Each structure stands twice: as C-alpha cells, then as structure tokens.
A and B are shown apart, each in its own frame.
Chain A
Amino acid sequence: MKTKTWTLTRRAALSLAAGAMALSAAATMPGGAAVAQDDPLKVGFVYVGPVGDHGWTYQHDKGRQAVVEKFGDAVKTTYVESVPEGADAERVINQLAQSGHDLIFTTSFGFMNPTVKVAKRYPDVMFEHATGYKRADNVSTYAGRFYEGRYPIGVMAGRLTESDTIGYIAPFPIPEVVRGINAFTKGLHSVNPDASVKIIYVNSWYDPGKEREAAETLVAQGADILVQHTDSAAPMQLAEEKGLIAFGQASDMSQFGPNAQATAIVDDWSDYYIDRVQAVMDGTWESQDTWGGLNSGMVQLSDFGPKVPEDVAKEATQIVKDIESGDLVIFEGPIKDNAGEVRIAEGEAASEEDLLSMDWYIEGIDAQLPKN
C-alpha cells in the first residue's frame, strides 16, 4: 500500500501565525520526542459513533488497531465512543489531554471547535482533527477525498441500473456530502444521462432505523440501486433482502450484503495514523493539513460484488487508475449547477476552496439543496 499523503499549501496562509508561535511550537516537539524513549506514547481517539457501526467509526478504530499492531508496547491507545457533538465533546477531549495523552485524534467534524479550545489549554499535547478546517500549532487536520471514490461508483451505477433511478441516502447537506453527490452524479451521467438521482437526507450520521426507512421510501419510488453516505449497514441489508444493488459506505459492508454490494468506498486511516504516531515519536510532528484521495490509499474501493459484470468492473478499475494518475479530474469545467449557472468555467478545475465550500447541486439533479 502506498503511504503518500497530500500536504496542501493552504497551510502557508497560517505560517505567519505559526511564526509568531514558534517558541511554543519548539517547546512542543521535544516533549513528544522524550516520551518515545521509556513510557509508552499515549494516543487517544474520540469517536462520534459506536466502534461497532461497521462504517465511519469502525474504520477509525481499525486505524487505531493498526497503530497498536505496529508499535506494540511502545504505544497505549484509548478510545471514547459515541461522544455527542456539542458540549460533551470538549469535556471528553479535555479528559484525554488531562490524563496524559500525547496525541489525540478527534474523528468528527462537530469536534472541531472543542478540539481547538482544548488544544489552546494543552500546548504540549498534539491534536489531529478529521474533516475540519481549523488548525493551530498543535492541531492538524486530515480527511479523505471520498468524492473521488464516488465518481467511479456513479459510473458503475449508471451501467447497472435498469430502472434508471438511483436512491441516495445522505446525512446532512454539508459540503462533504454535496461534493459526494455531485461527483457521483457526474460519473452516473457520463455513461447514462437518463438516470435520475433521488436524495433523502436523514439528518444523522448513524441511525439504522431512519436509514432503513429512507431506503424503503427510495425503493418504493423505483430505485433499484442504493447509495449511502450514512454509516450504518441498514440500507445495504435492505438491498440484500430485496435483491437490489447497493454501494457500501466507509467500510466494506459485504458481510451485510454478500450479493447486494457492488463495491464500497473504504476509508483506510491505518497508514495515516501510523505515520502520525511515528512522527510524534521521532519528534517531527508538526501541524499540517492532509487530504488524501484514491492515490494515497486513504480512499479505496473494495472488491467488486457478484452482480458486477466483468466489463463494468474493468471500466471502474480504469477510472480509479485515471483519477489516481490525475488523467481524470472529476470537477473539471465547464460545470453548471442545476439552476443553469456556470460554477466552474471551461478549461478550469475546481479549486480546493471551491471543493471545500461546495453548496450547489450539479446540473442534472432534480432537487433543491435544503437551505435558504
């Protein structure tokens, strides 16, 4: 597996502030290095869901386990699961920092402000926040370019659908999710312009009951393929029961849909977590922003399921290769939104800024983005 990660230059904007804080940063490094010698390095993880969600949190915990496996007695890991986003998160993060953890991963967007707040209080503790945009001298951010995986599954859905109706179960209309829907739709329409995407927001990252209800509604509306951006396996299980096709989210869900799962977008945090723990041990850890895509191994497609014909599998594999090599740029202009306005001009590609704040549906989605 490749371990390359993408370090963005957006960090440069923060370097002024970083310079001003250089003293405290310098004080941070030796603290991290000293720990590596005798005591085990204490690494804490804060999860938004249960470790058994078989989705988002499950994958982060696999990353934690990879750290344990790699470093053995040199690390001691701790996790706190199902931490609500809100007032409780700060207490849990604080508790981890207070109890001597050297490196703390907070793995949900809603933990961003609490992480930054606690980080101010503990300048010697290093923090890693997933999917956010606020950094500090001792706070890094990291995320996966999950949308890169959504383009090839869009292509696959376009090839596999018979009813030309795709059901899409989404959590919240935030940029990450909208980006995924747009990338999926772009892939879908590149091979099957007639197919339509029906989207239901369930307003939760993990709610098997609601996810199942949404999936049932979508199937009743004619969807023969289910795509999910929520974390439970409920939609996959429904697809299995009804003999339909579904795409797994965050984790390989084939055990819940041995026939139904065409493939899954798998988040693999292992290499990143190992790298960062190693960096703390070596005393080379510094604040950075990582946004790893297919070519970093942070985002992968799992093995193709039994309902995927050879040619479709081949096509998808080729597209993944093209995205990895940069031959295929998903958000390359001209791209219009679904009101007809040009969002990305011809000959241009979406900037990181455009991607991070995407709040419009791409042309061809017959729905309104739920906002004002």
Chain B
Amino acid sequence: MRPSLELRSHTPRSILYLTPVIAALLTAFSGGVLFAALGYPPLEALYAFFIQPLTSLNGLAEIGVKATPLVLIGIGLSIGFRGNVWNIGAEGQLTLGAICGGAVALAFYDVEGVWLLPLMVIAGTLGGMAWGAIPALLKTRFNASEILVSLMLTYVATLFLSYLVHGPLMDPEGFNFPQSRLFHDSALLPTLIPFTRLHLGAAIALFIVVAGWFVMARTLIGFQVKVIGLTPAAGGYAGFSQKKVVWMAFLTSGGLAGMAGLFEVAGPIGQLSPSVSPGYGFTAIIVAFLGRLHPVGILLAGLLMALSYLGGEVVQIELGLPLAITGVFQGMLLFFLLGADLFTRYRLRWNRSPAAGTAAGAARPAEAREEAA
C-alpha cells in the first residue's frame, strides 16, 4: 500500500477553508508538545503566543504596525508571482523607497507643511518603482534572470543606504553616528489611534488590499497576468505581451515596496538609519504564498505573521522562552500551513491496487478525509 498525490481537478470550498484551521490545530498541538518537552507550561505558552498580544488595544495596534509593510509588499509581489514574474528583491525596493522618501523629509527638515507627507509618499513609491525597473529592463531587454538581478540589487540598496547615513544624510548634531536627523512632525505619518503607533499607512494598506483584488479579478491587465502565468503560450496566442506583464509586475511590486519602506521611516522609525527593515521584503514572499496569492489571504497571512513575531516576544518576556524555541515554533506554523495547503491542490491516494483506492479510510490523515465532504 503506497500513498501518492493526485492533482485535483477542482478544489472543494470546504477544503479551502478547512486546511488553515487544521494547520492551526496541528501547530498548537505540536507546539504544546514542544513546550512541554522543554519544561515550559504548554497552555500558558500557547496563550501567551497567540492570545495575549490580542488582549490590549496597544497589542492590536502593534500587530497592525507590523503587518502593514508585509501586506503592502505581499500584495505587490502576488501580482508578479501570478504572472510568473519573480521579484525577490522587494527588500531593496523597500530600502530605496525609504531613501527617496526620507531624503525629501530631510531636504525640508526646517520647513513644515501639509504638502510634505504626500510628496514623501510619491518620492518613496517612485524610488521603489525605479529600483524595480532595473530588473524589469534587464529581463525584457536581455532576458536576464529577474530573480538574481532583483536579489542582488537588494545588497546594493542596503549599502547605498549605509553610505548615505554615514555621509550626506548624517545628522550634523549626532556625534557622527550613522543616523539622519529625526523627522519633524509634518514629515511623520499621523496615528490612527491615539497613544499607539498605528499609523495612516495601515489604512492605506487596507485600501491596497481592495485595489489589488479589483485589479486581479476585474481588469483586463489582471486577466492577462493570470493567463500569462498559467500558460505563457496561450497568452502569446491571445496577443498578450509578456514584456508588459513583466513591467507591470515590477513597477507595481517595486512601488508598493517603496511605499512600505517610506511608511516605516515616516511611521514607527521616524528617521533614516542603517537598518530600516528586519527583512520585510523577504518575509513578504512567505506572506504572499501563505495567503495563496489572494489579496484577502495575504491580509490574513500578514496579520498572522505579525502575531507570530509579537507572540514570540511575549513568550520571551512572560515565560523566558529563548528566541530559538519561538523560531522553531514559527517554523512549525509555516510548515503546517504550507503543508496543509498541498491538499487544496492535491488529494492523497492510498494505492493497494488500482481498484481498491478508497479502502484504507481509517489510515488516512484528517486532511485527506475532508476531501469527501
């Protein structure tokens, strides 16, 4: 009797909604086992990880702050991924967005005005788009791998930022430490809830979720992206331009990553410093796939990812769990989620003989059994 995977012709809705629930239960169970094995109270640890960050207004706001860049970038990336365009360098585009938008804020460090923030957002978005345009150009002109080019440009962007904060953009009163001046009030994003850090960027991210859904589901270009992604040849016969899709994917994802970078420096950070992102551009790739490349899925995945970071901190503070254990736990969560996702596209078959495929019901894992529903 051998298990094998078989492509589903269509995915039942029940499976689509059940797999995340099952994955969450599996994570909670094996996480509990892990915590107990290491001598920490399992229920308390799970509570601290998943529930406690949600019990205060500030905790909720912080999840919004953390999820904002992940969702913004994830939406942008998902458009490209659907069209088989692999932008791995969102981190670099984010950095350029932070640089360009931040440079505007610093250029007007002694001038206040309501026009400043919009100008920064435009500059940041354009900066990200420009950085995304490089791999797009090299791809469409010379067929250079956009994966490598966009990834490598990330390091260029990070070092460029490092150069700027060590040099031209360094705070003149900062004892030569590599940081810019602090942005003044009209260069900072207004907060949505008083006494929290939840900023306007979170609301814009929500708007982008809706816009992203609209573009992919209701517009011609969204349709073209999907067709080219599924079968490039068919797209070609239909007269859809692959180059156009590459450009559109990189400009959108680059622009949104740039905007996310600007939101970080004009939001929670409030200045330019050598590190403006703990790898949001890379984490957003996970978020995009975790959300099944669907805008609403990405929103949920971004929030879950944010919760896992906050939960990791809470268990460190409340129970003294070392960071490595929370890292393992986060890994398990992703593993189960993505693993369970397999069953939305494939079904598990136990082959004893070609005819007796369904006889082994009792031995099947829960996920596989759901397909009958």
How many residue pairs link A and B with beta carbons under 8 A? The number is 96
How near does chain A come to B49, taking the closest CB pair, in angstroms? Answer: 14
Q: Which stretch in A83-91, A154-162, A288-296 binds the other chain?
A: A83-91
Give the B-binding residues of A (Cβ under 8 A).
44, 50-51, 78-82, 84-88, 90-92, 94-96, 98-99, 109-110, 113, 121, 133, 172-175, 203, 356-359, 370-372
B175 touches A88 (CB 8 A): no
> B33: CB under 8 A from chain A?
no
Interface residues in B277-328 (C-beta closer than 8 Å to A): 277-278, 309-310, 313-314, 316-318, 320, 322-324
Point out the residues of chain B lying under 8 angstroms from A359, CB to CB: 176
Which residue of chain B lies nearest to A50 when distances are taken between CB atoms in the complex? B323
Chain A residues with CB under 8 A of B197:
90-91
B154 interfacial by beta-carbon distance below 8 Å: no
Q: Does B227 contact A (CB under 8 A)?
A: no
Q: Please, how many angstroms separate the alpha-carbon atoms of A371 and B314 in the complex? A: 39
Q: CA–CA, A51 to B58, complex, Å?
A: 28
**Contact assessment for A87 and B268 in the assembled complex, using a CB-CB cutoff below 8 Å:** yes
Could you name 19 residue pairs across A and B whose Cβ atoms are closer than 8 Å?
A51-B322, A80-B313, A84-B278, A85-B274, A86-B273, A86-B276, A87-B267, A88-B66, A90-B268, A98-B56, A110-B273, A113-B182, A175-B177, A203-B158, A203-B162, A356-B175, A359-B176, A372-B163, A372-B168
Interface pair B323/A84, CB less than 8 Å apart: no
Q: A50-B323, A87-B267, A133-B175 are in contact. Are A372 and B278 (CB under 8 A)?
A: no
Q: Which of A92, A95, A96 has the most CB of B within 10 A?
A: A95
Q: Which residues of A contact B176 (CB under 8 A)?
A: 174-175, 357-359
Q: Is B270 an interface residue (CB 8 A)?
A: yes
The answer on a CB contact under 8 Å between A371 and B167 is: yes
Does chain A have a CB within 8 A of B123? no
B20 near A: Cβ within 8 Å?
no
Given contacts A85-B273, A87-B269, A110-B275, contact A78 B317 (CB under 8 A): yes
Interface residues in B144-196 by Cβ distance below 8 A to A read 158-159, 162-163, 166-168, 170, 175-179, 182, 195
Q: Is the CB of B93 closer than 8 A to any CB of chain A?
A: no
When A87-B269, A91-B313 are in contact, do A174 and B322 touch as well, CB less than 8 Å? no
Question: Do B278 and A173 touch (CB < 8 A)?
Answer: no
Query: Which of A44, A110, A121: most chain B CB closer than 10 A?
Result: A110
